[in-house]
């Protein structure tokens, strides 16, 4: 067998397979392996498992390049596998160092091919895969089973069976068609938007919550997700109430626990019965969901079959009425409908053995059974008639039912066009067997009651993980289901209006039909088909709501965006949401205690409408932003359709109930602000972030045209922080002061400089940036962090001053700390960097704030109960000195401090007039402050000033000499190094080149070195002797005199002030005096606790005009 083998290109793999048979004969012959003759070492196309002669570079090892340096038997066993893996590794050798973080395309595609309900992204996918470590059943559901039927089951429900006939009777056929059309249009537009979002990538479990949160961000996602959860929970309550209403009204009225003790108390007794039975049913359903949720899913098809059979029975009954209408009598007294529950014959008297005999109806309206008894006046003056409740399609009754008949609570259900004699006294109407309306009806109420019957369009997207092709099935199945149910609802509205008498339609509980379900009397072959079918379908829908709502809450809790909900993310060992189920049952109980189906329906309409509104908003935002990731497979959408759907949802919310709409918005708004304030930071690539970026770009382009007007000027601060060796901030109080100055308004850029190169310092830069951001969060500084790595601190600071910010959002003020260690000899450049920064800000026309003794400045938690903020206004700087204390005074730390303004008067100034002018100026500026004019008397320069100036110049000269001596010492060390290097070079060169005079001159001898050392020593000694014979510069004496005098005045007035703001003099034009400038500033602020040196930016920042 050969000990080396050939790496063959992909195209030549077949040839390599053929050549493999001759491998034994080719052993030890490099030519047979395709290598150049005479070469046994590895070539790019012929690697060898062991280095050959002259091969001094070992092969690079990598997890993606299989090593073949193995034992002979191992190599023989795995030869083919090793060869194949090695070929792949060598082909990808250019990328081998990145493969740890960036997997190969083949492995990535292999993982994505088995994609199931996992989060987006490679990293999240792999983490989820590692966590599960189990085989996941392949999705198999198609469009019909996975999307169409679940949507059909969720859309068709309790409102269709219990309230649609009543809505048609009250609103009329035309307005009912309008209600149904508007609601179905709303859901169709929402379904189009939802299809676009659902086909823009894989949608894991979570349905609408996942889509909204990943499209609009965690704040909107959490708010709307909770609204959707509440809507689903109240839907469960509505379905349970519908189940109990069917049971107590149409199946077993005798099972009622509470009975009406007085006339007219039936409605109150019914509500109490609904509460008792509803609570028991809820407890039973919650137990079923807790114990065996899989049985609920298995029964889903049974419940769906009940719905489909019921609808088919309705259509069959309508067809039968065309040629054989059912005999369903309805009793009218005059034009009023009577409740056919407590009498058997619709007549006042009927013939008996001994003549005419009064009926049960006579006993209800009269005070006795005798014909001479006193009866109700309306009963006496009007006749009883019997009409057919369901005359049939061919009867033409549809013309009578076209228009609306809205009524107040307690009104009679009357048949229009029937003659009637009115009666004046109607006091006993509620105790008589009339059919009365139980609530006041109007168009908006009917919209709110009907809308829950079109919800349920999210059922397909909630099952996206079980679909074979979710991106094809969700749009097709959902839109087909909405089209089908819309046709069913619209046709039912027309057919109900064409078949059923108007008074029967307006009879909500079927009292005129002897307590039977109106839609059941229309159905064929038996009313019980509808009664039993609607009972089981509403029961199943309630179970489905109690199954889905806890899982939705669990998904929100596990996202971690709402901290107080995290407990509901836990459950049983198999993942069932136990705690979420308990909360769902509790909220559902609140809906059941309301007890009225008509009152609960508008509540859940609000929550569903809000959810649908934000689905449309998400699609519109993504479409308008044209984000690169927005590539839905569903192409039949447009932002105008989404915007129309959003507007329609918002309009329907206020049409249904304006106060419920406001409450729902308030709840969503509170959740939004809570997540924004306390929730975990999530980055989901949402559209709101893209919208913010677009808005920021638009605003930046708008404000870039020129500098802001003086009225709009505020300090946009660049805060220069210094870092220690551990990349921690040296002066954190500087950020505290920034927060107090800015109070969250305007621009704040927190900058810092690291010395070095970015390639070497990027890890330290990241750590420093994290430290700065954490400190900003602790100090509640709202702003941006910008860290620069530069070869020198001086250059880095200059770069920040020049380039920080973007467009019109650039800083106009630099805030930095005073270099406390500027006098220390181990840091000679600190004062030079500081002075150069002052010059840079002046050149850039930016204001400069220098905080001296910054570690004594207050933290944000401190409060000054008294004290002064003293402003020393020596020269006019554009009004910065006036504006800064006003801004500080807005913060709680400085709020109780008084503001005092001092100005300096010379000998020839009128102090009294200056004070009046300054007071008037402050009055026009609307700033409250005490004013004082301090006179500085001209006097001779003191000996102290002269001596201090002399000491300053001597120190400056000494520092120069010390710096010079340091340079000489460095040169001396370099000379010794050169001498040693030259001597070694000379020895090495003896055998190669002749000894030349030039090479001798470059070698240092001992005598030359001693002479040079004495020369440097004498020069430095002489320099130090010259220092003590210096005479102070007169310009420096005058400057020192001003600093000493002004410092004395400031100390006399402001030594106890909480903060002193002082004009900062500019640096000298002659750079030779920079260290003297630092001394002047030190003398000027000596003895003061907290000082803010202020230097204006060369423009007015405050104005007296409005």
Specify the higher pLDDT residue, 113 or 163: 163
Give the H/E segment covering residue 966: helix 943-989
What is the pLDDT, as a whole number, of residue 1080?
Answer: 79
pLDDT at 172 over 70: yes
Q: Is 474 exposed, middle or buried (0-12, 13-18, 19+ CB in 10 A)?
A: buried
Residues 957-985, mean pLDDT to the nearest whole number: 56
At 707, is the pLDDT very low, low, confident or very high (cuts 50, 70, 90)? low
Specify the higher pLDDT residue, 427 or 75: 427
How many Cβ atoms from other residues are within 10 Å of residue 86's Cβ? 17
Least confident of 100-114, 251-265, 389-403, 1018-1032: 1018-1032
**Cβ-contact 328, 389 below 8 angstroms:** yes
What is the pLDDT, as a whole number, of residue 19?
Answer: 43
**Cβ-contact 1058, 897 below 8 angstroms:** yes
At 966, is the pLDDT very low, low, confident or very high (cuts 50, 70, 90)? low
Closest CA to 880 of 834, 805, 931, 814: 814
- What is the end-to-end Cα distance of the chain in Å, rounded? 97
pLDDT at 155 over 70: yes
pLDDT at 185 over 80: yes
Cα–Cα distance between 444 and 1074 in angstroms, integer?
Answer: 80
pLDDT at 993 over 50: no
Contacts of 1102 (CB under 8 A, 6+ apart): 710, 713, 878, 879, 882, 883, 925
What is the pLDDT, as a whole number, of residue 280?
Answer: 95
Least confident of 230-244, 345-359, 762-776, 883-897: 345-359
At 110, is the pLDDT very low, low, confident or very high (cuts 50, 70, 90)? low
Half-sphere exposure of 522 (CA within 13 A, CB side): 29
Rank 115-129, 852-866, 974-988 by mean pLDDT and report only the highest: 852-866
Name the residue with tokens 């109607």. Answer: 426
Cα–Cα distance between 243 and 233 in angstroms, integer?
Answer: 15
Closest CA to 386 of 357, 361, 422: 361
pLDDT at 239 over 60: yes
Cα–Cα distance between 908 and 1046 in angstroms, integer?
Answer: 18
Closest CA to 615 of 1011, 207, 321: 207
3-state secondary structure 757-806: CHHHHHHHHHHHHHHHHHHHHHHCCCCEEEEEEECCHHHHHHHHHHHCCE
pLDDT at 131 over 60: no
Please write the tens of the pLDDT for every residue from 320-344. Answer: 999 889 999 999 988 899 988 888 8
pLDDT at 406 over 90: yes
For residue 776, give both structure tokens.
């900003």
Contacts of 847 (CB under 8 A, 6+ apart): 715, 812, 813, 814, 841, 877, 878, 880, 1094, 1095, 1096, 1097, 1101
What is the pLDDT, as a whole number, of residue 92?
Answer: 53
Cα–Cα distance between 772 and 729 in angstroms, integer?
Answer: 7
pLDDT at 949 over 70: no
What is the pLDDT, as a whole number, of residue 994?
Answer: 45
* DSSP, residue by residue, 900-936: EEEEEE-TTS-HHHHHHHHHHHHHHTT---EEEEEE-
Name the residue with tokens 């089951």. Answer: 153
Please write the tens of the pLDDT for every residue from 39-83. Answer: 444 444 444 444 444 444 444 443 333 433 434 444 444 444 444
At 145, is the pLDDT very low, low, confident or very high (cuts 50, 70, 90)? confident
Residues 619-638, mean pLDDT to the nearest whole number: 86
How many Cβ atoms from other residues are within 10 Å of residue 1069's Cβ? 7
> What secondary structure letter does DSSP report for 994?
-
Mean pLDDT of the chain: 77
At 123, is the pLDDT very low, low, confident or very high (cuts 50, 70, 90)? very low
3-state secondary structure of 505: helix
For residue 645, give both structure tokens.
């759907």
At 204, is the pLDDT very low, low, confident or very high (cuts 50, 70, 90)? low
Residues 715-742, mean pLDDT to the nearest whole number: 87
Specify the higher pLDDT residue, 675 or 86: 675
What is the pLDDT, as a whole number, of residue 996?
Answer: 40
Cα–Cα distance between 488 and 504 in angstroms, integer?
Answer: 21
What is the pLDDT, as a whole number, of residue 975?
Answer: 63
Using DSSP, how many helices (H) and how many strands (E) does the chain show?
38, 15
How many Cβ atoms from other residues are within 10 Å of residue 352's Cβ? 9
User: How far out from the chain centre does Cα 659 lie?
Assistant: 27
Specify the higher pLDDT residue, 845 or 1000: 845
Listed in sequence order, the DSSP H helices in 571-727 are: 578-594, 597-625, 639-656, 658-678, 687-703
What is the pLDDT, as a whole number, of residue 1019?
Answer: 47
For residue 422, give both structure tokens.
């009115």
| Torsion sign over Cα 1071, 1072, 1075, 1076 | negative
3-state secondary structure of 87: helix
Cα–Cα distance between 139 and 113 in angstroms, integer?
Answer: 12
Query: Can you give the pTM of this predicted structure?
Result: 0.68
Half-sphere exposure of 307 (CA within 13 A, CB side): 25
Residues 949-971, mean pLDDT to the nearest whole number: 58
Cα–Cα distance between 773 and 547 in angstroms, integer?
Answer: 43
Least confident of 286-295, 446-455, 747-756, 842-851: 286-295
How many Cβ atoms from other residues are within 10 Å of residue 700's Cβ? 14
3-state secondary structure of 1081: helix
| Torsion sign over Cα 943, 946, 952, 958 | negative
At 134, is the pLDDT very low, low, confident or very high (cuts 50, 70, 90)? very low
**Cβ-contact 152, 305 below 8 angstroms:** no
CA angle 756, 758, 763 (to 5 degrees): 100
Closest CA to 400 of 498, 540, 303, 309: 498
Cα–Cα distance between 1 and 6 in angstroms, integer?
Answer: 13
**For the chain, what percent of residues have pLDDT higher than 90?**
21
For residue 786, give both structure tokens.
């910008």
Cα–Cα distance between 261 and 272 in angstroms, integer?
Answer: 13
pLDDT at 207 over 60: yes
3-state secondary structure of 1075: helix
At 139, is the pLDDT very low, low, confident or very high (cuts 50, 70, 90)? low
Q: In DSSP terms, which residues pair with 329 in a beta bridge?
A: 388
At 698, is the pLDDT very low, low, confident or very high (cuts 50, 70, 90)? confident
Cα–Cα distance between 495 and 522 in angstroms, integer?
Answer: 10
Give the H/E segment covering residue 869: strand 868-873
3-state secondary structure of 941: coil
What is the pLDDT, as a whole number, of residue 492?
Answer: 94
User: How far out from the chain centre does Cα 1061 lie?
Assistant: 42
Rank 187-191, 697-701, 795-799 by mean pLDDT and report only the highest: 187-191
Please write the tens of the pLDDT for every residue from 827-849. Answer: 666 778 888 888 888 888 888 99
Least confident of 51-60, 160-169, 462-471, 933-942: 51-60
What is the pLDDT, as a whole number, of residue 1008?
Answer: 53
What is the pLDDT, as a whole number, of residue 21?
Answer: 47
At 190, is the pLDDT very low, low, confident or very high (cuts 50, 70, 90)? very high
Q: In DSSP terms, which residues pair with 903 in a beta bridge?
A: 873, 933
Please write the tens of the pLDDT for every residue from 573-596. Answer: 767 788 999 999 999 999 999 988
């Amino acid at each position: 067998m050969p000990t080396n083998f050939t790496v063959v290109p992909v195209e030549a793999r077949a040839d390599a397979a053929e050549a493999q048979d001759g491998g034994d004969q080719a052993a030890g012959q490099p030519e047979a392996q395709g290598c150049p003759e005479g070469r046994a070492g590895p070539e790019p196309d012929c690697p060898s498992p062991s280095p050959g002669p002259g091969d001094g570079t070992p092969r690079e090892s990598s997890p993606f390049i299989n090593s073949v340096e193995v034992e002979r038997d191992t190599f023989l066993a795995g030869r083919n596998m090793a060869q194949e893996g090695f070929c792949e590794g060598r082909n990808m050798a250019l990328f081998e160092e990145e493969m740890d973080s960036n997997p190969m395309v083949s492995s990535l595609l292999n993982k994505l091919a088995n994609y199931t309900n996992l989060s987006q992204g490679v990293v999240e996918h792999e983490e989820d895969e590692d966590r599960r470590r189990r085989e996941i059943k392949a999705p198999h559901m198609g469009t019909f089973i996975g999307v169409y039927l679940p949507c059909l089951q969720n859309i068709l429900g309790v409102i269709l069976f219990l309230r649609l006939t009543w809505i048609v009777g009250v609103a009329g056929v035309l307005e009912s068609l309008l209600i149904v059309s508007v609601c179905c249009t709303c859901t169709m537009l929402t379904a189009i938007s939802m299809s676009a979002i659902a086909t823009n990538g894989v949608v894991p479990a979570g349905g609408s919550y996942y889509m909204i949160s990943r499209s609009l961000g965690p704040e909107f996602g959490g708010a709307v997700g909770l609204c959707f959860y509440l809507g689903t929970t109240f839907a469960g309550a509505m379905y349970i109430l519908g189940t109990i209403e069917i049971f107590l009204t149409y199946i077993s009225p005798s099972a009622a626990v509470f009975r009406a003790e007085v006339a007219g108390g039936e409605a109150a007794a019914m509500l109490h019965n609904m509460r008792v039975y509803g609570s028991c049913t809820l407890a039973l359903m919650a137990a079923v969901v807790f114990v065996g949720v899989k049985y609920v899913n298995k029964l889903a098809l049974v419940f769906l079959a009940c719905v489909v059979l019921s609808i088919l029975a309705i259509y069959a009954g309508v067809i039968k009425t065309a040629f054989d209408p059912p005999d369903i009598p309805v009793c009218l007294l005059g034009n009023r409908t009577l409740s056919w529950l407590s009498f058997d014959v619709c007549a006042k008297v009927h013939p008996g053995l001994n003549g005419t005999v009064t009926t049960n109806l006579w006993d209800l309206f009269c005070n006795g059974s005798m014909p001479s008894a006193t009866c109700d006046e309306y009963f006496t003056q009007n006749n009883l008639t019997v009409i057919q409740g369901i005359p049939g399609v061919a009867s033409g009754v549809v013309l009578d039912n076209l228009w609306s008949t809205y009524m107040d609570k307690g009104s009679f259900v009357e048949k229009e066009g029937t003659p009637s004699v009115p009666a004046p006294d109607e006091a006993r109407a509620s105790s008589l067997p009339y059919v009365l309306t139980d609530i006041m009806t109007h168009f908006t109420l009917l919209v709110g009651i009907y809308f829950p019957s079109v919800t349920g369009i999210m059922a397909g997207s909630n099952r996206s993980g079980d679909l074979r092709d979710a991106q094809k099935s969700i749009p097709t199945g959902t839109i087909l289901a909405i089209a089908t149910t819309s046709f069913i609802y619209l046709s039912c509205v027309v057919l109900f209006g064409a078949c059923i008498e108007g008074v029967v339609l307006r009879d909500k509980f079927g009292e005129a039909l002897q307590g039977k379900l109106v839609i059941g009397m229309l159905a064929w072959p038996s009313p019980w088909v509808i009664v039993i079918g609607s009972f089981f379908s509403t029961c199943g829908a309630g179970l489905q709501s109690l199954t889905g709502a806890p899982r939705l809450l669990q998904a929100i809790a596990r996202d971690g965006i709402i901290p107080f909900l995290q407990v509901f993310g836990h459950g049983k060992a198999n993942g069932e949401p136990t705690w979420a189920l308990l909360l769902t049952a509790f909220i559902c109980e609140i809906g059941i205690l309301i007890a009225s189906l008509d009152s609960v329906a508008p509540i859940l309409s609000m929550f569903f409408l809000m959810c649908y509104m934000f689905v449309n908003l998400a699609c519109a935002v993504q479409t308008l932003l044209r984000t690169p990731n927005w590539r839905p497979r569903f192409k039949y959408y447009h932002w105008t359709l989404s915007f129309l759907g959003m507007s329609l949802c918002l309009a329907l919310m206020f049409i249904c109930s304006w106060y419920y709409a406001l409450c729902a918005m308030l709840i969503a708004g509170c959740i939004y602000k809570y997540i924004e304030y306390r929730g975990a930071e999530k980055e989901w690539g949402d559209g709101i972030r893209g919208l913010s970026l677009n808005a920021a770009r638009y605003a930046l382009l708008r404000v870039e045209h020129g500098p802001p007007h003086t009225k709009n000027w505020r300090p946009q601060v660049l805060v220069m922080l210094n870092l220690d060796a551990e990349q921690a901030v040296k002066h954190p109080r500087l950020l505290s002061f920034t927060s107090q100055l800015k109070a969250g308004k305007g621009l704040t850029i927190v900058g810092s400089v690291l010395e070095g190169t970015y390639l070497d310092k990027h890890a330290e830069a990241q750590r420093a940036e994290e430290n700065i951001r954490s400190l900003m969060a602790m100090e509640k500084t709202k702003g941006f962090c910008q860290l620069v790595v530069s070869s020198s601190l001086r250059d880095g600071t200059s770069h920040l001053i020049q380039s920080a910010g973007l467009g019109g959002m650039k800083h106009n003020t630099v805030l930095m700390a005073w270099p406390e260690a500027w006098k220390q000899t181990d840091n000679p450049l600190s004062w030079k960097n500081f002075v150069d920064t002052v010059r840079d800000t002046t050149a850039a026309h930016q204001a400069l704030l220098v905080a001296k003794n910054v570690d004594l400045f207050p933290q944000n938690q401190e409060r000054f109960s008294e004290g002064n903020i003293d402003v020393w206004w020596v020269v006019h700087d554009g009004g910065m000195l006036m504006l800064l204390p006003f801004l500080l005074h807005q913060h709680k730390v400085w709020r109780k401090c008084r503001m005092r303004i001092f100005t300096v008067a010379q000998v020839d100034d009128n102090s009294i007039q200056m004070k009046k002018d300054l007071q008037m100026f402050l009055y026009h500026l609307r700033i409250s402050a005490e004013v004082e004019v301090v006179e500085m008397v001209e006097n001779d320069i003191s000996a102290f000033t002269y001596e201090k100036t002399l000491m300053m110049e001597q120190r400056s000269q000494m520092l120069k000499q010390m710096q010079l001596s340091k340079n000489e010492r460095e040169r001396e060390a370099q000379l010794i190094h050169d001498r040693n290097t030259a001597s070694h070079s000379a020895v090495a060169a003896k055998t190669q080149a002749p000894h030349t005079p030039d090479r001798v001159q470059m070698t240092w001898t001992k005598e030359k070195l001693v002479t040079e050392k004495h020369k440097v020593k004498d020069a430095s000694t002489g320099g130090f002797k010259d220092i003590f014979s210096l005479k102070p510069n007169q310009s420096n004496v005058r400057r020192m005199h001003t600093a000493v005098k002004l410092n004395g005045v400031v100390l006399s007035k402001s030594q106890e002030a909480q903060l002193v703001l002082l004009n900062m003099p500019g640096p000298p034009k002659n750079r030779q005096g920079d260290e003297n400038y630092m001394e002047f500033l030190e003398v000027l602020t000596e003895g003061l606790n907290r000082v803010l040196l202020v230097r204006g930016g060369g423009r007015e920042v405050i104005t007296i005009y409005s």
